[in-house]
Amino acid sequence: MRALDRKLLRDLRRLWAQVLAIALVMAAGAATLILGIGAYDSLFQTRERYYIDNRFADIFANVTRAPLHIARDIAAIDGVRTVETRIVKLALADVRGMAEPGSVQIVSLSETGEQKLNALSLVNGRLPSSGTSLEAVANADFAKAHKLVPGDKITVLLNGRKTVIRVTGTALSPEFIYVLGPGDLMPDPRRFGVLWMRVDALAAAYGLEGAFSEISVKLDAGMPQEPVISEIDKRLRRFGGTGAHGRKDQVSHAFLDAELEQLRAMSRVLPPIFLVVSAFLVNMTLLRMITLEREQIGLLKATGYSSRSIAWHYIKFALVVAAAGVIIGAIAGTWLGHGMAQLYARFFSFPYLVFSRDPSIYAIAAIITLAAAAVGALRAVSSVVFLPPAVAMSPPAPARYRQWLPVDWRMPRIMDTRAILVSRHLLHWPWRLASGVAGMALACAILVGSLWSMGSLEKVIDITFYKSDRQDASIQFTTKRPISALHDLRGFPGILRAEPYRAVPVRLRNGTAERRVALMGRPADADLSRLLDTGLNKVALPTHGLVLSDALASILGVRVGESVQVEFIEDSRKVELVPVSGIVNGYLGLSAMMDLTALNRLAREQAVISGVNLKIDPTRTEALFDRLKQTPVANFIVLQKTALKRFRETLAQNITIMVTVYAGLAAIVAFGVVYNFARISLSEQARELASLRVLGFSRGEVSGVLLTELAVVVALAQPLGWLTGYGFAWLMVQGFSSDLYRVPLVVERGVYAYSSLIVIAAAVVSAFIVRRRIDTFDLIAVLKTRD
């Protein structure tokens, strides 16, 4: 083996702890890169393949009732490849063993059994037999939650009539990868499922023979959506069409997309942090190593080695460290990736989920990590490589400590010798101090940036569930009902308070800007569900005029006092000009609200309501649910507090994992930075410290010098870390803000405290390891002057 390589191995063995610390930081970077890209890749590819295999449609449109021949017109539109019509309805379900009423989305299967679009993947059992049989296939999660096997029966209020449906099998569909009931926060497979029935049976139940209520369209490759969507809208308008939409407004697809975006963000934000820190560390370590080995380098050069091979030797050192990091990171990343895949399997119903083992991911991670190491090394190496041998071999000139403050500023007597030692040493290498502080600050910032969301989430939950929408349950009616439905509901067992609401789909237009929203009407004395602005002030709905959320107002470009055009898209197609009486800051992006009476007057209808918000006595829920299950006019019942409970449970599970992972990562970075800093500082001041020991200072006092230095670095890093962490949080809030919702930026005091505590704990651990080294100084060896 070549001599330099042997030296390399010896150096590695000698400095194994530092090397390990740096390798761990690099591993963290590589792991998050592999995880992020890998998970993104597998999710993306799985979704693409699933969509293609099962012919997921591109455009979806709902109508009230349209005759089947319209489908031929739509198929004739330019760019449309395939068209399929279906009947899709929402209905209440009563499953044995569940007290609360659940709901099912019922989707029709054509009578020929051929599924042109949105094909099912049958998991077990068989498709329902043709004709008007009351059989159905359930989606896998719902079946699993209720332990349904082929042959079981469930009762469904099909168009208000109690119908017993037999489950013949379970299936998965690309349309329902993420199954979310209307008004729910998270998927609750117990309370919401999907049933596929034969179209004849559904048509008979809903009076839709020869008609359809939903149409799916697949476009030719490369065809843009907008022109086709507007053509479809034109044809479906008179059948109660509420507007066709593409995949991005389809619930399941939208959630998957959001998840992919998060993964992509994660793979873009975290790895650079780790790799930058590790580049710093490599730089620091190599610099120190090279400075220590100045004489050896001079000797090597004198004996004939070229500058290039010496430089290459040191770069190899960095690359070996990086390689170790990549290997550790690859293993960790793969293992974490499997864990993530399992997490996905819980929420997303894929028939297969492949964790992409594309070697290019690993290759990319490896290259990036090695590149970071090389960059760190180059800078260090370039400083010394060009020294002439003779200069290199002579002992280095002692460091010059000069007064660099222009003013003669006497330190007050508070600072003792130790303090002077520390501050002098730190300030002599300001760049090293800066990089150490920066590294620690980043560790702290990682924690702040990942822990803040919990407090923010709690605040959103508090505002949403206990300040503005406090109802225990909401009943959504199939179609609008007269207000006497409210009085009837008040007589149900266990209802403490009932408040009506009305939701009308409208299109708001101002000039060229338009948006389709649900215009909500609330009674003036609403207490359960009311409007709050971000200052948590109650907003009273004016007796006429709209109140818009500020996001919507800015999209439409209207101000208070101006008018906006309201087009009713459901029944009457009326267009009215309504003044905007107020604009509200809210967390839910696009909302438009009016007083209930005013809304009914605007729609020229006598008092009608779309649903009722309820406050329920928790001891009477069984009796209440029994009655509700037999209410033909409801098609969905949102149980807010149940949903919240489930949300909190899921969140609790995820938070533990998240906190552990992020705390681990931050601890690795903190440990690595402090350890390397300490080791380098120690080797620089070895002579001074040994001298102090010889002079009679105790081990504690001597190590105190070094530990104070570390303490200063850590202390300086905290405020910077808090600030940077706040910056991360701010960036994330901007990233989350969209049309749909906005997240409040609330970073609680405790977040800063916990982040610092974790980072400081990691620093303390590494400091004590270094202290042990001081205690085991070989004083004589240290004090020997090398010649």
Q: What is the DSSP string of 324-337?
A: HHHHHHHHHHHHHH
Q: Residue 216, interface with another protein (CB under 8 A)?
A: no
DSSP state at residue 178:
S
Query: Closest approach of Cβ 767 to another protein, in Å?
Result: 16
Query: Closest approach of Cβ 648 to another protein, in Å?
Result: 8
Please select the residue that binds another protein; options are 45, 309, 484, 585, rule is CB under 8 A. 484
> How many CA atoms lie within 13 Å of 263's alpha carbon, on the beta-carbon side?
21
Helix (H) or strand (E) holding 746: none
Site stretch for another protein (CB under 8 A), options 10-18, 322-330, 581-589, 624-632: 624-632
The Cα-based distances of 786 to 10, 97, 292, 394, 461 in angstroms read 19, 83, 11, 10, 67
Radius of gyration of the chain (CA): 34
Nearer to another protein, 496 or 740 (CB): 496
Q: Residue 482, interface with another protein (CB under 8 A)?
A: yes
User: CB–CB of 82/117 below 8 Å?
Assistant: yes
Number of residues that bind another protein (CB under 8 A): 48
Subset of residues 238 to 267 that bind another protein, contact rule: CB under 8 A: none
Site stretch for another protein (CB under 8 A), options 208-216, 292-300, 387-395, 457-465: 457-465
Q: Residue 534, interface with another protein (CB under 8 A)?
A: no
Site stretch for another protein (CB under 8 A), options 184-192, 304-312, 393-401, 627-635: 627-635
- State the amino acid at position 344 in one-letter form: Y
Rounded to whole angstroms, the Cα distance separating 452 from 755 reads 10
Please select the residue that binds another protein; options are 207, 398, 561, 618, rule is CB under 8 A. 618
Q: Residue 626, interface with another protein (CB under 8 A)?
A: no
Q: Residue 467, interface with another protein (CB under 8 A)?
A: yes
Please select the residue that binds another protein; options are 55, 65, 237, 615, rule is CB under 8 A. 615
Beta bridge partners, 164, equal 155
Site stretch for another protein (CB under 8 A), options 169-177, 298-306, 579-587, 744-752: 744-752
Nearer to another protein, 112 or 606 (CB): 606
Site stretch for another protein (CB under 8 A), options 20-28, 257-265, 562-570, 616-624: 616-624
Site stretch for another protein (CB under 8 A), options 33-41, 110-118, 165-173, 747-755: 747-755
Q: Residue 398, interface with another protein (CB under 8 A)?
A: no
Sorted by sequence, the CB contacts under 8 Å of residue 166 that are 6+ apart come out as: 134, 135, 136, 151, 152, 153
Rounded to whole angstroms, the Cα distance separating 656 from 654 reads 6
Please select the residue that binds another protein; options are 73, 209, 249, 462, rule is CB under 8 A. 462
Q: Residue 485, interface with another protein (CB under 8 A)?
A: yes
User: CB–CB of 615/496 below 8 Å?
Assistant: yes
> Binding mask 589-608 vs another protein (x if CB under 8 A, - otherwise)?
-----------------xx-
Please select the residue that binds another protein; options are 209, 617, 701, 775, rule is CB under 8 A. 617
Quick check: helix, strand or coil at residue 673? Answer: helix
Rounded to whole angstroms, the Cα distance separating 670 from 760 reads 8
Please select the residue that binds another protein; options are 56, 192, 752, 777, rule is CB under 8 A. 752
Q: Where are the beta strands (DSSP E) in 190-250?
A: 192-198, 211-219, 245-246
Place of tokens 């909500």: 520
Site stretch for another protein (CB under 8 A), options 111-119, 175-183, 317-325, 465-473: 465-473
DSSP state at residue 561:
T
User: Which of left, alpha, beta for 592 (phi over 0: left; psi -120 to 50: alpha)?
Assistant: beta
Q: What is the DSSP string of 492-517?
A: STTEEEEEEEEEEEEEEEETTEEEEE
Rounded to whole angstroms, the Cα distance separating 698 from 696 reads 6
Count of CB atoms situated within 10 Å of the CB of 581: 18
Quick check: helix, strand or coil at residue 529? Answer: strand
Rounded to whole angstroms, the Cα distance separating 45 from 350 reads 12
Q: Residue 410, interface with another protein (CB under 8 A)?
A: no
Helix (H) or strand (E) holding 595: strand 592-595
Please select the residue that binds another protein; options are 197, 244, 532, 770, rule is CB under 8 A. 532
Please select the residue that binds another protein; options are 97, 359, 491, 561, rule is CB under 8 A. 491
Nearer to another protein, 99 or 779 (CB): 99
Query: Closest approach of Cβ 497 to another protein, in Å?
Result: 4
Nearer to another protein, 89 or 247 (CB): 89
Q: Residue 630, interface with another protein (CB under 8 A)?
A: yes
Query: Closest approach of Cβ 350 to another protein, in Å?
Result: 34
Q: Residue 304, interface with another protein (CB under 8 A)?
A: no
Closest CA to 161 of 483, 570, 478: 478
Site stretch for another protein (CB under 8 A), options 164-172, 257-265, 534-542, 690-698: 534-542
Q: Residue 414, interface with another protein (CB under 8 A)?
A: yes
Q: Residue 290 has which token pair?
A: 């090279």
Nearer to another protein, 411 or 414 (CB): 414
Subset of residues 141 to 170 that bind another protein, contact rule: CB under 8 A: 160
Rounded to whole angstroms, the Cα distance separating 734 from 8 reads 48
Query: Closest approach of Cβ 402 to another protein, in Å?
Result: 27
Quick check: helix, strand or coil at residue 453? Answer: helix
Please select the residue that binds another protein; options are 632, 720, 733, 765, rule is CB under 8 A. 632
User: CB–CB of 141/181 below 8 Å?
Assistant: no
Site stretch for another protein (CB under 8 A), options 88-96, 194-202, 286-294, 532-540: 532-540
- State the amino acid at position 93 in one-letter form: A
Q: What is the DSSP string of 55-116?
A: T--SEEEEEEEEETTHHHHHHTSTTEEEEEEE-EEEEEEE-TT-SS-EEEEEEEE-TT----
Site stretch for another protein (CB under 8 A), options 186-194, 196-204, 205-213, 493-501: 493-501
Rounded to whole angstroms, the Cα distance separating 480 from 520 reads 13
Place of tokens 């502080």: 437
Q: Residue 497, interface with another protein (CB under 8 A)?
A: yes
Rounded to whole angstroms, the Cα distance separating 787 from 768 reads 32
Please select the residue that binds another protein; options are 49, 234, 268, 487, rule is CB under 8 A. 487
User: CB–CB of 675/21 below 8 Å?
Assistant: yes
Please select the residue that binds another protein; options are 367, 750, 775, 779, rule is CB under 8 A. 750
Subset of residues 71 to 130 that bind another protein, contact rule: CB under 8 A: none
Query: Closest approach of Cβ 416 to another protein, in Å?
Result: 6
Site stretch for another protein (CB under 8 A), options 218-226, 304-312, 550-558, 625-633: 625-633
Q: Residue 211, interface with another protein (CB under 8 A)?
A: no
DSSP state at residue 588:
B
Site stretch for another protein (CB under 8 A), options 108-116, 175-183, 411-419, 446-454: 411-419
Rounded to whole angstroms, the Cα distance separating 513 from 519 reads 17
Query: Closest approach of Cβ 776 to another protein, in Å?
Result: 27
> How many CA atoms lie within 13 Å of 310's alpha carbon, on the beta-carbon side?
27
Q: Residue 641, interface with another protein (CB under 8 A)?
A: yes
Q: Residue 185, interface with another protein (CB under 8 A)?
A: no
Contact set with another protein (CB under 8 A): 160, 413-414, 416, 458, 462, 465-467, 470, 481-485, 487-491, 496-498, 527, 532, 536-538, 606-607, 615, 617-619, 630-634, 641, 644, 748-750, 752-754, 757
